[in-house]
Amino acid sequence: MKAFISENEYENPFKSTNADTMSYEQIVDSWSEPFFMRRKIISEDFYIRTPMSLIITGARGTGKTMMFKYYSFQAQALLAEKKGMTVLKYFRDTKSVSMYLKFDPYILQAFPENKEGQGLFIHFFELVVCESYIELLDLLYLKKEIQKAVYCRISDEIRKLLGTTQKEKNLSSLVESKIDEVYDYINDRKMEESEFHTEKKYQFKKLSYQIKKILCQEVEEFKNVIFLWVIDEGENFLASEQKTLNSFIKTLNARMNRDIFLRLGTRRPKLPTYETINKEEFLTISRDYEIKDINYYTIDSDGREDYKKWLTEIAGKRLQSSEIFNRNGLNQIQKFLGNKEDQCHEACEWAANHKEHFRWCLKEKFSDELYDALKVKDNPLKEMMNIYWYRKGYSIEQINIASGKEKKEASEEEKEWIKKYRDTFMDNKMAFLYLLASKYKKEKQYYSFNTYSYLSVGNICNFIKLCREAFDNAYFENKEDLFCGKISQKAQHAAAISVAYDEIEKVKYIPKLGNELYALVINLGNLFNEYHADIELKNMEANQFSVIYENIKVDNIINTALTWGVFLKKDELQTLDATGNKGTIYTLNKMFCPLFGISYRSKGRYREVLEEKTFLKLLRIQKRKVSSVITEKDTTEQQIEGQLSLFDPKE
């Protein structure tokens, strides 16, 4: 049945991919517990009620901003309205008020790293917190939850703290103008040295803590509620600015205060400093703060189904928000994308009833008689399995019995062959597909819900981007199919390539190490592509590596790659070689896989163990096969500039 939709009626339900740009209404409507909350790394109760500051570390796309904005007072006020409750009663019941604070990276990087700069940052911080308090006050007044007399008393007290009694400007505009003074100073300072001038400079906690006391004195519902200052993108703070935040953590968690705490989100695995503005004091974990790592670099088989259910729920809410799809009952993303890839169909399109892959794999052993014995009509993957077993030393008779080609009552030994054949085929089917793609110079396609779930591990934004691009492509390719719940394999694969290019381009802009990390990704991607074309199948679906190093630069590069989501890592130490040596295993961000034509699965087989010198070589783009760089002993090498280069395997 065709769906007739007007041009103005359709809107891509996945157009908003980043919580940072989503409105609070969108945040509430599309909310689904982040995966780290499902895994019980952080619970709602722990996040909003723990009477201690929390540092929450997680790479880009893990869901920090979504959680921070969902529990902010702006979003919680919308939830209270949906539940038919007053906002104040909602805060009293949850015993928590969360204030989402975000600082412009531009201005954070511009504060001088000296005593004057530190004082200016404190002044700026106090104003930003003050602005959030005023927004909360205005919200309560507009909703008529506090009386005008109370609103005016609180406003007058805040004006006194700000050092002005003038009422020609409302409070919000007054504070905004004072924040603009800081921006103007930073901009002017870029042109020439200048001094900061303002009517009054605010000291540590003079606004941020005092305004909270005023609110609690005037509004009964706030008296037994903790206030959370939620600071996002903590990785942008300079070390001198981090000292100020650490001082807040230290003093806010002191015995004198039990009702204001920080929630600091950062991509960094650790803080740049644990010092405070008091040179004799340092942050102490468990006493001053708790730290929670919310990264989910890898998902084991037990957690994969839960992860898919989570993605289905996220996509379902967006599809339900679309009148068109909701009206037609199209609320399951699997309906659009398909559940899994059809690997046999892909292989048939390239290699069905061809001899070239037999000649390629068997080399001098190839003959027409052997081809007739191993061929399987319209099933190149099974043919690759037969070739693989033949190269392993199995006889034609054993292969025929194990594959089911020879029909007869199987002995116990033959039943073992049949089981082993089946298990080996299912385990290596993907590897065979990549080999065929290499031989026939075909581009492996990345499509289906299952594939998108693998590509997006560690970064939910990438899943939403994949869906957005796929829906956009489908709309321009065949909108009637889209409105009936079908997106072609071609449209999905194009989406995967588009998002992958976008992700790899972002690597270049990582502060200080962008170009080196970009080269590293290109080289490792090309290396794994080489391994995927290895007809010996020694390194099937190889995409994992480890690094043996002592150099602090290597440590910095790896930590930066993890911070920015360039690398993923296994949660536990893994065995690296036959001697039983253990180490940390890394993979490239799965989203890069479509660019290099490599597997998104981590099968736990071959791991490339890189020596320190080799790893440092890979920080420059290579113009030759990367495997030759890995194996060479000479440390000299050439460097070129260029784009992605996927080398064709030798035949």
Crossing angle of helices 208-218 and 148-162, rounded to 10°: 160
* Tens digits of residue pLDDT in 527-547: 999 999 988 877 888 899 999
Phi/psi of residue 38, each to 5°?
Answer: -65, -35
Where does the pLDDT of residue 643 fall: very low under 50, low under 70, confident under 90, or very high at 90 and above? Answer: very low
Quickly count: other Cβ atoms within 10 Å of residue 61's Cβ.
25
Where does the pLDDT of residue 280 fall: very low under 50, low under 70, confident under 90, or very high at 90 and above? Answer: confident
177 CB-near residues (< 8 Å, 6+ apart):
169
Bridge partners of residue 548, in order along the sequence: 611
Bridge partners of residue 57, in order along the sequence: 266, 293
- Check pLDDT > 80 for residue 191: no
Bridge partners of residue 100, in order along the sequence: 230
Is the distance from CB of 315 to CB of 456 less than 8 angstroms? no
Where does the pLDDT of residue 647 fall: very low under 50, low under 70, confident under 90, or very high at 90 and above? Answer: very low
- Check pLDDT > 60 for residue 39: yes
- Find the helix or strand (DSSP H, E) in which 492 lies: helix 489-507
- Check pLDDT > 70 for residue 634: no
Cα dihedral sign for 626, 628, 633, 636?
negative
- Check pLDDT > 80 for residue 573: no
461 vs 34: CA distance, rounded Å: 12
* Tens digits of residue pLDDT in 579-599: 778 889 999 999 999 999 999
590 vs 452: CA distance, rounded Å: 10
246 vs 227: CA distance, rounded Å: 17
- Check pLDDT > 50 for residue 440: yes
First to last CA, the chain: 49
Highest mean pLDDT among 3-17, 162-176, 252-266: 162-176
- Name the more confident of 302 and 456: 456
The CA-based dihedral angle spanning residues 323, 325, 327, 329, taken in that order and rounded to the nearest 10 degrees: -150
Q: Residue holding tokens 């080799």?
A: 614
- Which ranges constitute the DSSP H helices of 578-647? 593-596, 612-617, 626-631
20 vs 425: CA distance, rounded Å: 45
Where does the pLDDT of residue 168 fall: very low under 50, low under 70, confident under 90, or very high at 90 and above? Answer: low
* Tens digits of residue pLDDT in 313-343: 999 999 999 999 999 999 999 999 999 999 9
Where does the pLDDT of residue 578 fall: very low under 50, low under 70, confident under 90, or very high at 90 and above? Answer: low
On the 0-12 / 13-18 / 19+ scale of CB atoms within 10 A, 376 is middle
* Tens digits of residue pLDDT in 40-57: 899 999 999 999 999 999
- Check pLDDT > 80 for residue 562: yes
Where does the pLDDT of residue 650 fall: very low under 50, low under 70, confident under 90, or very high at 90 and above? Answer: very low
> What is the pLDDT, as a whole number, of residue 8?
66
Is the distance from CB of 292 to CB of 57 less than 8 angstroms? yes
Closest CA to 442 of 364, 589, 343: 343
CA-to-CA dists, residue 90 to 79, 83, 145, 259, 548, angstroms: 9, 9, 12, 17, 53
Question: What is the residue extent of each domain of the chain?
Answer: 25-293, 301-340+446-499, 343-439, 508-631
Which amino acid, residue 168?
Answer: E
Per-residue tokens: 414: 């033959």
> What is the pLDDT, as a whole number, of residue 1?
46
259 vs 633: CA distance, rounded Å: 61
* Tens digits of residue pLDDT in 169-181: 789 999 999 999 9
DSSP letters of 529-548? HHHHT-TT-TTTT--EEEEE
Angle at 59 between CA 55 and CA 61, to 5 degrees: 115
Phi/psi of residue 487, each to 5°?
Answer: -120, 125
**How do strand 544-548 and strand 567-569 relate by DSSP bridges?**
unpaired
58 vs 270: CA distance, rounded Å: 10
Bridge partners of residue 221, in order along the sequence: none
Is the distance from CB of 459 to CB of 594 less than 8 angstroms? no
Closest CA to 401 of 412, 391, 392: 412
Which amino acid, residue 426?
Answer: M
Cα dihedral sign for 390, 392, 397, 399?
negative
Give the residue-averaged pLDDT of 84-94. Answer: 95
Average pLDDT of the chain to the nearest whole number: 90
Give the residue-averaged pLDDT of 150-161. Answer: 95
* Tens digits of residue pLDDT in 193-215: 778 888 899 999 999 999 999 99
> What is the pLDDT, as a whole number, of residue 641?
40
431 vs 425: CA distance, rounded Å: 10
524 CB-near residues (< 8 Å, 6+ apart):
545, 588, 618, 626
Where does the pLDDT of residue 639 fall: very low under 50, low under 70, confident under 90, or very high at 90 and above? Answer: very low
> What is the pLDDT, as a whole number, of residue 172?
93
DSSP state letter for 608: E
* Tens digits of residue pLDDT in 217-259: 999 999 889 999 999 999 999 999 999 999 999 887 655 556 8
- Which ranges constitute the DSSP H helices of 83-218? 87-94, 105-108, 115-142, 148-162, 171-191, 208-218
Give the residue-averaged pLDDT of 570-578. Answer: 75
- Check pLDDT > 60 for residue 147: yes
Q: Give percent above pLDDT 70 in the chain.
A: 94
6 CB-near residues (< 8 Å, 6+ apart):
none
Q: Give percent above pLDDT 90 in the chain.
A: 74
Phi/psi of residue 239, each to 5°?
Answer: -60, -40
Q: Is 574 left (phi over 0), alpha (psi -120 to 50) or beta?
A: beta
